[in-house]
Amino acid sequence: MSRQYYIAGNWKMHKTRAEAAELAKALVDGLKDGKHKYLAAPGFTLLETVAALVKGSNIRLGAQNMAAEEQGAHTGEVSVLQLKDLGVETVILGHSERRHIYKEDDGLINKKVRLALKQGLEVILCVGETLEEREAGKAEAVCETQTVKGLEGVSAAELSKIVIAYEPVWAIGTGKTATPEDADAIHAYVRGVIGKLYGAEAAGKIIIQYGGSVKPENAAQLMAKENIDGALVGGAALKADTFVPIAKFS
């Protein structure tokens, strides 16, 4: 496969600085001979600590969200400029917890996507259907809408900075993983959506990660699928013992 595998860890709202430093050190050590592309996305208050530890390693630094405005009177928000100042290279946007718990809609997510790209960040844009939507036969339509609206106004040149993460909401943190076949089918569908928007070459190049209860036990089977180019890992990203084997799947 010409696309590079990309394994990302979303640490969500876990860890103190001391705990984050311990994990970051273990990851730098455990992945130093890793062959794929890697990302660690700790919480905002941990970014500076983790930045210092992953600097010069093969692990990129990511944030889990950012404000839709560059700066200004937005109490409680974190700006793209503040993230860049800490060495953040990538931002996860549209995660299902942002969409469902914090009610972020496609319009807001798109605004963030365009701002992150304007500021030179790589974006991991998350899409995925709920259980109800899957059971109603709407999985493809939901992922298509989230992809199309999330990428509105994104140029073909900017698309090289976009990674899509397919994360079925019913598989996140539940222990239920989509079967590799089911995941691959949605990945192929989303790749087709990119093809319609940006052409076949762009569709062939875009990295599409799978997320939702990825574990050392299922990583290799998922990665073996034609359209699955990596993983966005939550729970299993909190320990080097589980993240490193996923990141070095074979």
Is 201 designated active site?
no
How many residues form the binding site for ligand PGA (CB under 6 A)?
13
Which one of the listed residues 97, 122, 129, 167 is annotated catalytic? 167
Report the site for ligand PGA in 217-246 (rule: CB under 6 A).
232-236
Closest CA to 146 of 132, 127, 162: 127
* Residue number of the CB atom closest to ligand PGA: 234
Is 132 designated active site?
no
Torsion over CA: 206, 243, 41, 24 (sign): negative
How far from 128 is each of 8, 97, 180, 215, 219, CA to CA, in Å? 17, 11, 15, 19, 19
Report the site for ligand PGA in 141-170 (rule: CB under 6 A).
167
213 binds ligand PGA (CB under 6 A): yes
Report the site for ligand PGA in 1-60 (rule: CB under 6 A).
10
CB distance 118 to 79 below 8 Å: no
In the block, tokens 């074979």 appear at 250
Residue 230 or 234: which CB sits closer to ligand PGA? 234
DSSP per position, 187-207: HHHHHHHHHHHH-HHHHHH-E
Q: How far apart are CA 190 and CA 21, in angstroms?
A: 36
Q: Report the residue from 31, 116, 172, 222 that binds ligand PGA according to the rule CB under 6 A.
A: 172
Q: How far is the CB of 177 from ligand PGA (least distance, A)?
A: 8
Residue 20 or 231: which CB sits closer to ligand PGA? 231
Q: Active-site residue numbers?
A: 95, 167
Residues lying near ligand PGA in the complex (CB under 6 A): 10, 167, 172-173, 211-214, 232-236
